Structure 1
């Protein structure tokens, strides 16, 4: 599909046909990147989207604790007031 580059203020842009916007589920914003010399537009994903389902699918092990264990230092013994 051919689209013309148009002037938008001091910039240039293209009009994306409504049918493409609807097909891709684009809303108010898109992710734009260059991949192998091509401009790729993707629907903008929400931060942490689907995390809840991922955590339910892989619950933490019962013995899961600190990965590094405790890391005491000189401050803990000499400077800290309990």
Structure 2
């Protein structure tokens, strides 16, 4: 974990708390608090992407641009 510190939480304890794949970790006062996230990561992304595509608003934000000397590359 690099220069970070890690702890191991036993799987039975996580199951008892109802934690599955994701946990939200926050500092409250002087305590480290673990809780179920309000919503899952990337929740709704597929629907939002489909809506953008349906509305024709899914064009690239940044234009395509080549790297220097790309014309010399052989694919």
Q: Which band: TM-score by shorter chain?
A: 0.3 to 0.5
- Structure (1/2) with the larger strand percentage: 1
Q: Quick check: which has more Rg, 1 or 2?
A: 1
- TM-score, normalised with respect to structure 2: 0.45
TM-score by length of 1: 0.42
